[in-house]
Structure 1
């Protein structure tokens, strides 16, 4: 655990190192990204084992798919495009200021802080670090206290592959996280829930620290009247029960025409049976992380049962011998809006399915709530897609699938409103952690002196001023 004195010492050391090298070369940045990729690639099995230890059980394939591959892909993408991203961008100059020239110079911000969550402890710590290093910054990462094995491995490997003045890991509890948030970073990125996000924002405000918040929310999946129900069920099931629903962009609930709801439920039954033939005992089905999360989910589902909701269990609960639990995929049909299931982000394997009158009713339902991090819509009708895009707001949109927008490095990832502020990933992340500095270069011979006092009214008129 990092104490307050060590935390400040690491921050100050990075500040000094940045002051000594305020604009790292292309070669230096590429080298740092290569080391980050090597760290992840060479220790893949250790990383997967640490995550599984923290969760009680995490499907091996899911850790490879959602933790390892995205980091390697992001580092490769950044190294490939970094030269172009770093290049100053020319800006048009008004004719009155010509032959002066203008450009936008992209400059590192300094020291970047990253507060990472527990649901994807490797991915969501290192993905923003890729962008911050590509932009030429120094990086401090505070991983979650709820994944101690992964955090300890992260700290050990970071010390092996990086000088602590380049990148360092800070471990500790909630008090450490609060102290971390209060440091005068040049930019602070937090991934987690909205309640903690507000606390982070308040702490950062004291230093006027710019922040990026990735907060999740209730991401809906709209199933259009023309959608193939078998396909929709398969893709929604994949997005929902990857990591047992503990994904910030998981489909939170489904909106479907009431007349098709029964058929969709049957399609979901078959899909879950195909995905997990042994039910929750399947090696491909992950556990829920932590007693607090389990208790919250149990209370949420119990409330729905108590209020007479139709609850369809698609498996049986499995208690793990080493601690932890696997909670089964569960459908909740037409829950009322006042239930916690519909007020809060579920972040688990419960899936409400709501019958709607039509697409307009589904869009109205989406717009009545906070803006989500992702929105999924299943339709092949170009006009319906246009309507969904133009009539709703969300951080990202996926048609006829779920989750995969985050796997495209060229797409920015971020929320809006309650689901967050700011975006990163790829070029968007490079720009997020850069200062786009305005530069104007005056020509040796120019006419701006004609605008000096005393002002010539006739000249101002000629110039249209």
Structure 2
């Protein structure tokens, strides 16, 4: 890093710290926003987001090189609108103080649980879905009554401009502030003493974020990824299975943390999966080179990374098949799905999250063998079961761990606002959707209330003259 770049980084770190102090002071002036205040904030975000949806389509198209307009609306805009509407409808119920059971040792008293905002939430986004992975956590943070500081990915400069405009129109920066900057800026951002930190990105970077947050004992929510498998079970028709998972693989050119990473199918049916996939892919994208329905690989760096994965697989004996017979175009970075047969564990394609239009297909002898294979790796963010047999479904559900599961579908469980979304193990920590997300960004504070009668004087020392000894003897009787 040059001296000039170091100065920029130090200046931005100072800006982060000053902004955090500003938001902390503003929060302390209003530490328990009412339901009406929170709902008004969410509605302002909704209005601003909808007002700039066309600009988001244009900016993401520029940042990606080619980004399907429908995918921007479907993956980045609509889920946030649905999330806001869901929270607005339920927020007053979530905020109610809960009465809990009063234990014998503290009676007579009343025990309550109140959900209090934690303070300032830090949000670090990723490049692949820059609006959903920043505004999604923001919705949860605002619903819980917090303020937020957002760090956008530096790889989407055009989209970041629009995001800043959306936030500036909806909020004063004492409530929500937004930044971009290089990787060093993200490192400085993650080291700030937030009251909660939400990160979306790779498992490797997630480890660094958690390590930085630990210095200040900042609780973290990590939404990572991993190798999300699809199990095509013996009872499932191959054409039907492919029709159900292909869009999840093609959406955003496979650059989604929940995108199917590899397919497990009954041994001997691998070629049938390839044939069905190629047929359906050509139907979906008949003029692939010029279509606006399929997004390009985001950047030159990721395009080259994917080509290296394919070269490694070919060099080690795998068969690679383009879904439409076309080769990846280095100029436009348009890349049809490349199906990989005979993949082995020494290949990069089976070791790392692919995050792009490459799809290994492996055979198994039994469902038990498929489950065993999945369990040998890290726990994925999503697991997909293609089967109508309930016994098979239950076996896989009971013998695997994953952030979530979709049966006879892929990705869609993440679109359900009424359930928590998050990973487990290598795929993440914590949740940020729905009621569970509200709780994650709140402090559940126990409050015990006594009236005028105070029983403590009857159990105070000296113990040989009070009621405590006989009470304890009675309570601990055999």
Give 1:377-396 correspondences, 5 Å limit: 377-396=385-404
Separation (CA, whole Å) in 2 of partners of 1:15 and 1:359: 53
Q: Report the Cα distance in structure 2 between the residues aligned to 1:127 and 1:428, rounded to whole angstroms.
A: 14
User: Alignment partner for residue 232 of structure 1, among 234, 241, 253?
Assistant: 241
1:269 corresponds to 2:269 = no
The answer (yes or no) to whether the contact 1:317–1:325 under 8 Å persists in 2 is no
Query: Which of 203, 206, 217 is the equivalent residue of 1:194?
Result: 203
SS for the counterpart of 1:331 is strand
Change (3 A) 1:280 1:365: farther
> Where do 5+ consecutive residues of structure 2 fail to align?
1-7
Distance verdict in 2 for CA 1:280–1:324, change over 3 Å: closer
Is the partner of 2:149 in helix, strand or coil? strand
Q: CA deviation at 1:280?
A: 4.2
Quickly say closer, same or farther: Cα 1:6–1:458, change in 2 above 3 A: closer
- In the alignment, structure 1 residue 348 sits paired with structure 2 residue 349: no
SS of the equivalent of 2:249 reads helix
CA distance in 2, matches of 1:290, 1:252: 20
- In 2: Cα distance, 1:158 partner to 1:365 partner: 45
Say whether 1:415 aligns with 2:423: yes
Task: After superposition, give the CA deviation of every residue in 1:362-400 in whole Å (9 maximum; x if it has no partner).
Answer: 000000001000000011111111111110000001100
Match of 1:51 among 60, 84, 108: 60
SS of 1:217's equivalent in the other structure is: coil
* Structure 1 segment 331-342 matched on structure 2, within 5 A: 331-342=339-350
Per-residue deviation at 1:453? 2.0
User: What is the DSSP-based 3-state SS (H/G/I as helix, E as strand, rest coil) of the residue aligned with 1:375?
Assistant: strand
Instruction: Determine the C-alpha separation between the residues in 2 that align with 1:254 and 1:350.
Output: 11
Q: Which residue of 2 aligns with 1:42?
A: 51
The 5 A counterparts of 1:300-339 are 300-315=309-324, 316-317=326-327, 319=329, 324-339=332-347
Could you tell me which of 373, 383, 392 is aligned with 2:381? Answer: 373
Q: Map 1:245-264 to 2 at 5 A.
A: 245-264=254-273
SS at match of 2:198: strand
The CA deviation at 1:262 is 2.2
**Counterparts of 1:459 and 1:311, CA distance in 2:** 76
Per the alignment, in what secondary structure is the counterpart of residue 326 of structure 1?
Answer: coil
For each residue in 1:1-34, what CA deviation from the matched residue of structure 2 results, as whole angstroms up to 9, or x when unmatched? 9823322221111011001110011111001100
1:401 aligns with 2:413: no
Shift of 1:240: 0.7
CA distance in 1, matches of 2:278, 2:35: 52
Contact 1:114 1:128 in 2 (8 A): yes
Partner of 2:26: 17
Q: 1: CA distance between counterparts of 2:328 and 2:379?
A: 34
Contact map agreement 1:100 1:446 (CA 8 A) in 2: no
Q: 1:427 aligns with which of 429, 435, 443?
A: 435
d(CA) in 1 for partners of 2:438, 2:60? 28
Tell me if structure 1 keeps the 8 A contact 2:52–2:162.
Answer: no
State whether residues 253 and 297 of structure 2, in contact with CA within 8 Å, keep that contact through their aligned partners in structure 1: yes
1:35 is displaced (CA, Å) by 0.8
* 2: CA distance, partners of 1:420 / 1:109: 21
Once the two structures are TM-superposed, the CA of residue 324 in structure 1 deviates from its matched residue by: 4.3
Matched, 1:454 2:449: no
In the aligned structure 2, how far is the partner of 1:269 from the partner of 1:328?
10
Q: Which residue of 2 aligns with 1:180?
A: 189
**Aligned Cα RMSD in Å?**
1.4
Residue 194 of structure 1, CA deviation? 1.2
1:298 equivalent in alignment to 2:310: no
Q: Counterpart in 2 of 1:170? A: 179
Measured in 2, the distance between the counterparts of 1:406 and 1:251 equals 13
Contact kept in structure 2, 1:291 and 1:324, CA below 8 Å: no
What is the aligned counterpart of 1:118 among 123, 127, 130? 127
Match of 1:97 in 2: 106
Deviations 1:393-420 (A, max 9, x none): 0000110000100110011111111111
TM-score, normalization by structure 2: 0.94
SS at match of 1:289: coil
Cα offset for 1:446?
A: 4.9
Partner Cα distance (1:62, 1:127) in 2 = 16
Deviates more, 1:420-429 or 1:259-268: 259-268
Q: Partner of 2:452: helix, strand, or coil?
A: coil
Deviation string, structure 1 residues 220-261 (Cα, Å, up to 9, x no partner) = 000111112122101211111100000000110000111322
* 2:4 match: none
Aligned to 2:165: 156
2:225 match: 216
1:283 Cα shift?
1.5
Structure 1 distance, partners of 2:368, 2:471, is 58
| C-alpha contact 2:45 2:166 (8 A) present in aligned 1 | no
**Per-residue CA shift, 1:334-369, capped at 9, x if unaligned?**
200111100000000000000100100100000000
Structure 1 unaligned regions, length at least 5: none
Deviates more, 1:69-78 or 1:455-464: 455-464
Q: Which residue of 2 aligns with 1:60?
A: 69
- Would you say the 8 A contact 2:317–2:342 is kept in 1? no
Distance in 2 separating the partners of 1:260 and 1:418: 30
**Aligned partners of 1:289 and 1:324 also within 8 Å:** no
Q: Distance in 2 between matches of 1:284 and 1:459?
A: 74
